[in-house]
Structure 1
Amino acid sequence: MAWHPGAGGDGAPSFITRNCSAPMSTGIQPAANRSTHFLFDHKVFTVDGCRFILSKTNDEPVMCMKLGKLDVEIPIEKLSTEFGIQPKSFDGQLLTMAAKGLRYVREIRPGDTIPNELIDGTASWRVDERHYNVAKGRLTVQLVTWLTGGETVVSSPEQLEQVVEDPNTKARVHEAFRMIANRLSLAGDPEEEIGLHIDMLAKELSYIEALRERALALHKVRQGLETAHRIYKAERMVKEEIVRMQTLSLPPIADLESRFAQVDAQTGEILAMLRKFDQNISYIREMRDDLHQSLLPWDEVLDGWLTVTVEKSPELEALMKRTYHFLAKRYSQATQWRLATRPAPK
């Protein structure tokens, strides 16, 4: 995936690219930007190495900092009492925002921008133009299908591009615009308004397409484990661990596939989406955040499986060890799997 590089400086994989800035310069008054940036007053937030993350031990939001040679973690919920920060003060409110923000980014430092999801609902990470093109292509196919009453199934981006650029498709899309505008009784320039709505839907759905692409990459983990199982078939303990990893990895991947199917079902009827436009935008964003939060932890191991050569080697064995720890921690069989469903817009 060719994700745009971010400016967060947190060492996170490119999948979670975010729009964030360096700490503000001393020439800018912090109070003027607290609605968009983590600009704290208390001196504790200037300590070397200060940053907010989810603890590796229990996924609890914590503030990390250096005290001499020690790396210290303090739960965010205890910071107020430890340092006399009033919950309703600016710093107290920013701490609450930081805890929420870690659902969307892996790390927050003083001076970073507040994730967009908490400000205006847009995403704090970026996608490639191809994801927008795929989303726009799918909507175009829906328009033509709605107009003709037939059923057109187009899956590959190349096929979608061919359909979108076909002159007959463009003519049918304009005809669909006119008919939908009449159905919705739009005023002003109804065709222009429909076109703008389609573009906005494509922009929001482009994030779903980007997440879908990332989720499909998880099958590299499954394929790698299958190959490793054959390679290490004579080593009983290693083989048993691989089987355990295969068992643990299947439910979360199947769960993600179900979520994408749910989004596709809900956004599959173009007229219904346009009739309840604002509600559907909110729905897409909520599902985007659910999917993003579910995929984010996989960055711990996924890029390793995308680059490793699956052959008997210390590198593969180290990756399998890391993967086993990751899966056992997050997806034990005791975990109760529940599809993160969202009610259909009303």
Structure 2
Amino acid sequence: MLSIALPVRRLTRNDPLMSQGIQPSPNRSTHFLFEHKVFTVDGCRFVWSKSSDEPVMRFMLGKVQAEVALDKICNEFKIDPKSFDGQLIDMVAKGLKYVREIRPGDTIPNELIDGSASWRVDERHFMIAKGRLTVQMVTWLTGGETVVSSPEQLEQVLEDPVTKGRVREAFKMIANKLSLTGNAEEQVETRIDALAKELSYIEALRERSSKLGKVRVGLEEASRIYKNERNLKEEIVRMQTLSLPPITDLEQRFAQVDAQTGEILSMLAKFDKNISYIREMRDDLHQTLLPWDEVLEDWEGNAAEKSQAFEAVLKKTYQFLARNYSQAKHWRLAARRAP
């Protein structure tokens, strides 16, 4: 993260500048504000190159698109690596783990500033996370924990009058167990809401990862449809082999998060450490799912039937899997040490 000391004027709602409709200008601690003129060239943007498997800067030279590897920019354009621009270039490399493209002037991803997510979730994801925590909290009263992820199950349990009646009782008992002082029950409720906010990103990623099931089922259908076409059938079998480890790995990661966040008392007792753990797993899952966006839209928009369109999807998927998930790569479960 950049460490830049800048004079900051904090604006309030009644500040004269705000009343004039003037917004505070972005600064270099929160935005990619470069000084060197090379970053003003037409079409300048930073992406992860599929061909060279590294972050690059792309721009237009006339009608030709050019690119320079990020780690070569300082040398190519005489930029001091310790300068503001040099530090921002390093920040770009880190930022591309969280977003697919960065342009000069863009906001630095929140993950690099304060650890929060730079992407949004829907209200339903928060409600699922809040419901799951509520179920854990209430069932904890009976001496056992129940980890529930299914939205349907959550809805049934949360509508139970007994569940609603035990929520306040759970707050009191947990506050007592944690030896909280002051407005202890309110503190427990605040922590539950904060955990739900962080876990809502896990729920959104869980929903997104479920789309990989369409790829798995689609390949099974393709194997049946093209069973008499030897070359294509061999490619489909190869795709099934290549896709199995990453999809299984993702399933295991979600299972790991569920297991580590399944004990409500421990979650609340080690609150700060668990927030950090959830954010680390959130970023791991997000970065793992990000490359799949390249093919998921194609699978969503094409039926698994014998056609040129479907064969084009299969070809693109084969190239994607071979490039990103060849068996030469070492596969591991992303095991984050629990707090």
TM-score by length of 2: 0.91
Aligned ranges 1:111-150 → 2 under 5 Å: 111-150=105-144
Aligned ranges 1:254-333 → 2 under 5 Å: 254-333=248-327
User: SS where residue 294 of structure 1 aligns?
Assistant: helix
Change (3 A) 1:153 1:79: closer
**Residue segments in structure 2 that go unaligned for 5+ positions in a row:** 1-21
8 Å CA contact 2:70, 2:89 repeated in 1: yes
Q: What whole-Å deviation, never above 9, does each CA across 1:287-345 have from its counterpart, x for those lacking one? A: 00000000000001011112211111110011100000000111111111011111111
Counterpart selection for 1:196 from 190, 196, 201: 190
Shifted more, 40-49 versus 144-153: the winner is 144-153
Q: Which amino acid aligns with 2:168?
A: H
8 Å CA contact 2:145, 2:262 repeated in 1: no
**In structure 1, C-alpha distance between the alignment counterparts of 2:190 and 2:157, rounded to whole Å:** 20
**In structure 2, C-alpha distance between the alignment counterparts of 1:150 and 1:300, rounded to whole Å:** 42
Counterpart selection for 2:233 from 239, 244, 267: 239
Superposition deviation, residue 279 in structure 1: 0.2
**In structure 2, C-alpha distance between the alignment counterparts of 1:43 and 1:191, rounded to whole Å:** 56
Aligned ranges 1:205-216 → 2 under 5 Å: 205-216=199-210
Q: Which amino acid aligns with 1:149?
A: G
Change (3 A) 1:35 1:153: closer
Change (3 A) 1:271 1:140: same
Q: Which runs of 4+ in 1 moved over 6 A?
A: 27-30
The equivalent of 1:167 in structure 2 is 161
8 Å CA contact 2:145, 2:263 repeated in 1: no
**In structure 1, C-alpha distance between the alignment counterparts of 2:149 and 2:265, rounded to whole Å:** 21
The equivalent of 1:85 in structure 2 is 79
User: SS where residue 262 of structure 1 aligns?
Assistant: helix
Q: Which amino acid aligns with 2:106?
A: D
User: SS where residue 116 of structure 2 aligns?
Assistant: coil
Q: What is the RMSD computed on CA atoms of the aligned residues?
A: 1.5
Superposition deviation, residue 234 in structure 1: 1.0
User: SS where residue 300 of structure 1 aligns?
Assistant: helix
> How many residues are matched?
318
Counterpart selection for 1:221 from 215, 221, 227: 215
The equivalent of 1:3 in structure 2 is none
Shifted more, 46-55 versus 305-314: the winner is 305-314
Identity %: 73
User: SS where residue 148 of structure 1 aligns?
Assistant: coil
Superposition deviation, residue 231 in structure 1: 0.8
Superposition deviation, residue 159 in structure 1: 2.9
**Residue segments in structure 1 that go unaligned for 5+ positions in a row:** 1-26
TM-score by length of 1: 0.89
**In structure 1, C-alpha distance between the alignment counterparts of 2:95 and 2:148, rounded to whole Å:** 37
Superposition deviation, residue 28 in structure 1: 8.6
Aligned ranges 1:58-69 → 2 under 5 Å: 58-69=52-63
Q: Which amino acid aligns with 1:81?
A: N
Shifted more, 318-327 versus 335-344: the winner is 335-344
Q: Which amino acid aligns with 2:52?
A: N
